[in-house]
Amino acid sequence: MASAAVPRFPPGFLWGVSTSAHQIEGGADERAPSVWDAFTAEPGRVRDGSTAAVACDHYHRYREDVALLRDLGVGAYRFSVSWPRAESPGGLGFYDRLVDELCAAGVRPVPTLFHWDLPLALEETGGWLRRATAEEFARYAGRVADHLGDRVRTWITLNEPAEHTLLGHALGVHAPGRALLLDALPAAHHQLLAHGLAVRALRAVGITDVGIANSHGPVWPASQDPEDTAAAELYDLLLNRLFADPLLLGRYPEELAELLPDGAAADLETIAEPLDWYGVNYYAPTKVGAPRGTETVHSGLRLPAGLPFSVREIEGYPRTDYGWPVVPEALTALLTGFRERYGDRLPPVVITENGCSYEGVDDQERIAFLAAHIRALHAAVEAGVDVRGYFVWSLLDNFEWAEGYTRRFGLVHVDRETLERTPKASYAWFREVLRAQR
Ligand code: GBH
């Protein structure tokens, strides 16, 4: 199939797949609770009423899952460490076993230290709205790195502080369920500070390969009408520049200064601690226009009337099952735009997540989606962006947050009754892609 062809990437390019702890592990009664356990216990929070208490039971089936990774032939596996598990007695032992299994399979482990599952005890003292949580995170990061650092070279601090701020703290549709609208920005600042402090903690135990995984995407104005372009610019500030500017330029966008905690500027030096690479999670562009003065619903997401922008449907592109538009060329534009804006301050880029939700095991749409995005990534490489890796979201169908088990992002199907793993057509296709790149 012509549309599944993939060009050759530079030697040493890192191919992988990604998951996160809360979405696959299960084993919830063998660790302390996280904000997601509390959130999903409240009725009405998750579309299918499910929880991740069992999820894919990866906690007990990790050997089988590592065998799937080995047979797939990926160079690397991005997973996350559950902070509440790491703080529970014996909890780091699980990651010891996982890392050893990965190393034996010849797959590089790439842990993310925070993928949204804050220990509930920390939420109860203020969570990400409290500065001290950033210091707690750095201590935890240092402890985990000290423990696994002899076998793990590559580390990721945070996953998508932008989405965790927006969905978890501004809109309240994710844990911890706070609906603070623009008053959520302290949560963004404290995550960025946590990142910078963690980079220092990792360096202190000898780690030399550190990145972050940020959610980014082009923002398209709904029209050239000044009210629409101004709203789109604000959205771009909140999604893209609020995170990339302090990390890469050591400054916050001026327009957002008054929404940040007092004294935030004094933390910029910490936040801008140099990175070895910059991780980008890309799914889709967003079309944004002036506020409409009423609640709007977009891809199942309710946006309250009080926001200073509204999100519009992108027409004229195919959509995934989730309703997200499929726009691979926006990935090229995103990366060339980054290169233009950040210049030599932009370290090598790794795509730490890209993928789509479709039903079925004969998932030809997923193959077409991934192939088109990999080609779009190659176009960015040809345009001079230094891209070093690409990770598919996700290895397994898993707990898709507020959507529960109703969205399937995996290369491997997971039966919800038996938890049996069945590689999809996209798994076989990706294995051939990887083989051809060797
Ligand atoms: C990631 O978040 C998460 O890191 C991961 O845990 C999750 O499972 C995965 O993606 C899939 O959701 O409606 O067209 O405007 C992704 C955050 C937020 C990116 C919503 C796409 C909407 C696109 N996503 N956004 S659209």
> Which whole number is the average pLDDT over 64-72?
99
**Is the Cβ atom of 405 under 6 angstroms away from ligand 1?**
no
400 lines ligand 1 (CB under 6 A): yes
- Does the reported pTM lie above 0.90? yes
* Whole-angstrom distance, CA of residue 324 vs CA of residue 286: 9
Mean pLDDT of the chain: 97
Percent of the chain at pLDDT above 90? 96
Evaluate if residue 175 carries a pLDDT over 50.
yes
> Number of folded domains in the chain?
1
pLDDT at 331 over 90: yes
High-pLDDT (> 70) share of the chain, %: 100
Ligand 1 centroid–CA 301 distance in Å is 11
pLDDT of residue 369: 98
Q: What are the pLDDT digits (tens) for 145-162?
A: 999 999 999 999 999 999
23 among annotated binding-site residues: yes
CA distance 27 to 397: 17
Quick check: 300 pLDDT over 90?
no
User: pLDDT per residue over 223-245, tens digit each?
Assistant: 999 999 999 999 999 999 999 99
Mean pLDDT, range 307-333, rounded to an integer: 97
Tell me, what's the pLDDT at 270?
99
Q: Specify the pLDDT at position 299.
A: 82
Identify the pLDDT of residue 301: 85
Mean pLDDT confidence for 313-342: 98
Residue 320 in contact with ligand 1 by CB distance below 6 A: no
Three-class secondary structure assignment of 244-289: HHHHHHCCCCHHHHHHCCCCHHHHHHHHCCCCCCEEEECCCCEEEE
3-state helix, strand, coil in the chain (%, to 5): 45, 15, 40
pLDDT of residue 1: 43
C-alpha to C-alpha distance for 264 and 129, rounded to whole angstroms: 13
Annotated ligand binding at 224? The verdict is no
Residue 134 Cα, ligand 1 centroid: separation in angstroms?
A: 24
pLDDT of amino acid 68 = 99
Domain of 365, CATH number, reads: 3.20.20.80
For residues 65-77, give the mean pLDDT: 99
Mean pLDDT of 61-67: 99
Report the separation in Å between the CA atom of 403 and the middle of ligand 1, taken as the mean of its atom positions.
Answer: 11
For the CA of 311, the closest atom of ligand 1 is: 15
- Nearby residues of 343 by Cβ (< 8 Å), 6 or more positions away: none
Q: Answer for the pair 201, 146: CB distance below 8 angstroms, yes or no.
A: no
Angstrom distances, CA of residue 110 to CA of 17, 99, 153, 160:
10, 9, 8, 16
Rounded to whole angstroms, what are the CA distances from 13 to 142, 170, 177? Answer: 28, 37, 38
Q: Whose CA is nearest to atom 8 of ligand 1?
A: 400
Full residue range of the structural domain in which residue 180 is found: 2-437
CA of 393, closest atom in ligand 1: 9
- Tell me the longest C-alpha to C-alpha distance in the chain: 58
User: In the predicted model, is pLDDT for residue 83 greater than 90?
Assistant: yes
Rounded mean pLDDT, 170-192: 98
Q: Are 280 and 350 in contact (CB under 8 A)?
A: yes
Summarised one tens digit per residue, pLDDT across range 342-398 is: 999 999 999 999 999 999 999 999 999 999 999 999 999 999 999 999 999 999 999
Ligand 1 midpoint to CA 205 (Å): 33
Residue entry with tokens 């969570």: 127
Is 273 a known ligand-binding residue?
Answer: no
CA distance linking residue 15 with residue 352, whole number of Å:
10
